[in-house]
Structure 1
Amino acid sequence: MNEEVVLYEVRDQVATITLNRPQVKNALNEEMHTALYRAFDEANRNKDVRVIVLEGSDGAFSAGADLKSIATEEVGELDYGKYLRETYNKLVLQLMNIEKPIIAHINGIAVGAGLSIALACDFRVAAREAKLGLGFMKIGLVPDAGASYFLPRLVGLGKATELALGEIISAEEAERINLINQVGTPEPLIAHLKTVSPSAFGLMKKNFRAGFDKTLAEVLELEVETQRVAGATKEHKYAVAQFVNRA
Structure 2
Amino acid sequence: MAYETILFDRADGVVRITLNRPDRLNSFTRTMHAEVQAGLDDAKDARVIILSGAGRGFCAGQDLNDRAVAPGKAVDLGETVEESWNPLIRRLATMPQPVIAKVNGVAAGAGANIALACDIVVAAKEAKFIQSFSTLGLIPDSGGSWHLPRLVGQARALGLALTGEPLPAEKAADWGLIWKAVDADALDAEVNAIATKLALLPPLGLAAIKAIIRSTGERTLDQELNLQRDEMRRLGFTEDYREGVAAFLEKRPASFKGR
Length-normalised TM-score, structure 2: 0.89
Structure 1 residue 134 and structure 2 residue 139: aligned?
A: no
Mapped pair 1:39 → 2:35: no
Counterpart of 1:194, as a letter, is A
Partner of 1:62: 59
How many angstroms does 1:181 deviate by? 0.6
User: Contact between 1:210 and 1:219, CA under 8 Å: does it hold in 2?
Assistant: no
Matching residue of 1:179:
177
Distance in 2 (alpha carbons) for counterparts of 1:212 and 1:56: 31
Match of 1:155 in 2: 152
Structure-2 separation of matches of 1:32 and 1:18: 11
Distance 1:137 1:221, change over 3 A: same
Give every structure 1 segment of 4 or more consecutive aligned residues whose post-TM-superposition deviation is greater than 2 Å: 242-246
Report deviation, 1:225.
Answer: 2.0
Aligned partner of 1:199 in structure 2 is 204
Q: CA deviation at 1:13?
A: 1.5
2:111 equivalent to 1:114: yes
CA distance in 1, matches of 2:57, 2:21: 10
Q: In the alignment, which residue of structure 1 is the partner of 2:75?
A: 78
Could you say which residue in structure 2 is the equivalent of 1:95?
92
Distance in structure 1 (CA, Å) of the matches to 2:222 and 2:41 = 33
Match of 2:32, SS state, is helix
Given the superposition, is the C-alpha separation of residues 195 and 215 from structure 1 closer, same or farther in structure 2, using an over 3 Å criterion?
Answer: same
Deviation at 1:63, TM superposition (A): 0.7
Match of 2:20 in 1: 20
Q: Structure 2: which 5+ residue stretches go unaligned?
A: 252-259
- Partner SS, residue 87 of structure 1: helix
Distance in 2 (alpha carbons) for counterparts of 1:172 and 1:99: 28
The match for 2:166 among 160, 165, 168 is 168
Structure 2 distance, partners of 1:75, 1:99, is: 44
Aligned-partner Cα distance in 2 for 1:3–1:89: 22
Partner of 1:227: 232
**Tell me, which stretches of 5 or more residues in structure 1 are unaligned?**
none
Residue 4 of structure 1: SS of its match in structure 2? coil
Shift of 1:51: 1.0
Match of 1:125, SS state, is strand
Q: Quote the RMSD (CA, aligned, Å).
A: 1.7
State the secondary structure of the residue aligned to 1:96: helix
TM-score of the superposed pair, with normalisation by structure 1: 0.93
CA gap 1:179/1:76 in 2 versus in 1, 3 angstroms: farther
Count the aligned residue pairs.
242
